Amino acid sequence: MSDYKPHSAELRPGQVVEYLQNNQPVVSWVQEVQAPRVRALNINQREVKLPASRVLPWTGPVYSADLSRQDVLQLLQEHHQKRNSIQENLDVMDVWSMVQGEIVQASIFWFAGLLWDEPDADRTAALGRAMLQARTHFKFSPPDFEVYSRETAEKKMEEERLHRERERLVSIGKDFFKKLHSGTFSPGEQPESLDPEVEKQLKDILERRIKNPDDTQTQDLWSKLSAGLPQDPHLPFILARAWGIYPEHYNYLLEQADYAWEASWSEPHIPEIQALARKLARENKEPFIDGLISIDSASTRDIDDAFYIREHADGYSLTLALAGPGLYWTFGSGLDRAAAHRVSSLYLPEGKSDMLPRVLAEEMFSLNQGQVRPAMVLDLELDFQGIVRRLNPRLEWVRVQANRTYAEVEDELARDPASRLGSALRLARTLREKRLEQGAVIIEQNEPLIRLEKTPRQTLVSLVPGVTHPGAHLIVSELMLLCNTVLAGWALKRDIPLFYRTQDIVLPKDYSGVWQKPEEIYRVIRSMGATLTETRPRPHRSIGAGAYASVTSPLRRYVDLVNQAQIAAALTGQPGMDRAGLEKMLPLVNTRMGQVSRVQKFRPRYWKLLYFKQQARHTTWTGIVVDNSGPVVLSLPREQVLIRAPHEVLGGKAMIGQAFRLRLGRIDPLNNEIHVLEAWEE
């Protein structure tokens, strides 16, 4: 084995050397040495100045420093070609196989001695070049090379493979995304060159970015794929929609909330549902409560409350029945975890998705007329001032006599004020007046119905004024508020842990009242703090309650389901969750309520903005100024939408309560943007 050394330990003029430029060796000719720098002429005919430390260890050979520039370039070209030729015939993996596990680090001359008896400068340089390229097996630590172990080399090769795949994905995907965005492809079309694996990876990154726009794991890759495209927060969804992955008006908010819309989410829980059905069948009892009725919209299938009322000389005897899933609920089960994740039902213009499996929400526990159902029953005695004189909560089986609609009840109230429904309305009015005396804030506004009509070309949106049934709605709302308030007080006295709804804020006395004008509603709502869910009771100011815990919708809200189960456990002497257990649940419950309520809030607004966009060319709208402290905020009362406009568009002197006729310009439902193009005073 020959121990080849460079011609001189020191650099000198006339010496052939190599240095790294963009990770590639460049063969050069030393013209002058002025330690610690070297001036050299490289094979590309450029004169360079570089630190001597950048010169690679395989130096030589040395020629006369007096050669002409043309001769030097000719020599450099010859050495470069010779080294390339030698390198092409080298299998550097053979070198690694010989030494891995034997040595950790050695000089290039030592490695060259393994292959040749008398390695010259060109052979040594060729081997050095090859080892520099074999980054998965060797590491250049000047002036030596480290030898990676088999485990490290395999890891490096996998990293290299992933890097190549990533670069290929970026190269193909970047071009494909640009074509998608420009509309080159029709929906569902893809180029022939897009192989299945690349397609799968590109779809995966779009879906992940839609679900979590701040996903850190895909951020770097997404930045490269989307380079050159508009910085739109909804760009992943726009591309996925153009690709045909999602339809035009797909509710991407469901993805971000991780909320399964289709009823098939409950299929894994069928065994638990069947076991629950068998238990209900075994315990089914003939009820003895008669005359219960429910009041809901005509489309409601999950009936979760009903009542019976009798007016007498001393006041009212009221029986409230609540659907009873919490009486049989198993916390910690798979079904429970799924329901907790869903946290509430969603009611959107395109339909409804139940918190519970549909068979539970609309059949097994729904208070459908004529069917025997388990329920939590409250017997109350109230005087004519709405003060509760007696409360007796209990667990019973009930049979609701009739499921009434708001329209039916409103008609009966008009026909027969002296009926039992008339008694319910009188009590409801008394309860509302009592709450107003306690500082309640009541907002009355008519939310329009959003109707969707799918045509072959598009989805048409129309807004229909909501039909008001003031008497029927007042009965339901006040009885449910009463139920939640009295049960909160009952549980508080007995130290039964519940989830409470709180709003412990200071409201000016003149804020208490019934508000209907847009400017008044805006002013009042802006002054009210957020409603919180907590495990310790505090006042709920806008309701006018000292303690408030929602229990009345256990089919639709997980918090109500938990509260019902807590009260049921206390009534039967069974152990419920302690406060620490509820506090442990609370962060997840609050997080999920925030995520799901965002869908409930913004999805109807999306459809309203699409309605404006479809009508904008030939329609104007009435807006009422509700805020002029910054950009003017206008409320569109019929559509129940707030929009903003610059002062100058409204003439610069917009007054609170002033009405304007508005012509709308650019509208982007996806980005929640709507612009006022023109306005004139009505």
- As a whole number of angstroms, the distance between CA 16 and CA 63 comes to 8
Close Cβ partners of 415 (under 8 Å, ≥ 6 residues apart): none
Q: What is residue 192's predicted lDDT score, i.e. its pLDDT?
A: 58
Among 194, 217, 246, give the residue marking a domain's end.
Answer: 246
Paired tokens of 502: 């709180």
Q: Within this chain, do residues 225 and 284 fall inside the same structural domain, yes or no? A: no
Residue 203 confidence (pLDDT): 94
- DSSP secondary structure code for residue 183 in this structure: T
Domain check: are 217 and 95 in the same one? no
Pair (270, 159) in one structural domain: no
Cα–Cα–Cα angle for 339, 344, 348, nearest 5°? 130
Q: How far is CA 677 from CA 485, 665, 674, in A?
A: 48, 5, 10
Residues 321 and 242 grouped into a single domain? no
Q: Examine the domain organization and report whether 655 and 507 are in the same domain.
A: no
Q: What is the Cα 334 distance to its own chain's centre?
A: 23
In a domain, 7, yes or no: no
The CATH number linked to 651 is: 2.40.50.140
Residues 227 and 276 in one domain: no
Residues 674 and 571 in one domain: no
Identify the segments of the chain with pLDDT beneath 50: 1-8
Q: Are 376 and 393 in contact (CB under 8 A)?
A: yes
* 0.95 exceeded by pTM: no
Position 287 in a domain: yes
**673's tokens:** 């943007």
Q: Do 390 and 531 lie in a common domain?
A: yes
Residues 357 and 423 in one domain: yes
> Which of residues 246, 271, 302 is at a domain's end?
246
- Say if strands 402-405 and 293-296 run parallel, antiparallel, or are unpaired: parallel
- Domain range for 183 is 152-246
Residue 533 lies in a domain: yes
Examine the fold and report which residue of 107, 123, 148 is the final residue of a domain before the chain moves on.
Answer: 148
> Do 276 and 192 share a structural domain?
no
Q: Looking at the structure, tell me whether residues 240 and 132 fall in a common domain.
A: no
Q: What is the pLDDT of residue 572?
A: 95
Residue type, 129: R
Residue for token pair 């004529």: 370
pLDDT of residue 3: 38
What is the predicted pLDDT for the residue at 529?
Answer: 82
Rg of the chain over Cα atoms, rounded to whole angstroms, equals 38
Q: What are phi and psi of 125, to 5 degrees?
A: -65, -40
- Whether 4 is in a domain gets the answer no
- Domains contained in the chain, number: 4
To which H or E segment does residue 215 belong? none
Cα 296 to Cα 477: distance, rounded to the nearest angstrom? 11
- Single-letter amino acid, residue 553: S
Distance CA(615)–CA(617), nearest Å, equals 6
DSSP lists the bridge partners of residue 322 as 305, 376
Report if residue 281 sits inside a domain.
yes
**E runs forming strands in 174-285:** none
pLDDT for 196 equals 87
- 363: exposed, middle or buried (C-beta count within 10 Å: 0-12, 13-18, 19+)? middle
611 falls within a domain:
no
Residues 6+ apart with CB under 8 A from 210: 236, 237, 240, 252, 255, 256
Based on the domain organization, do 351 and 464 belong to the same domain? yes
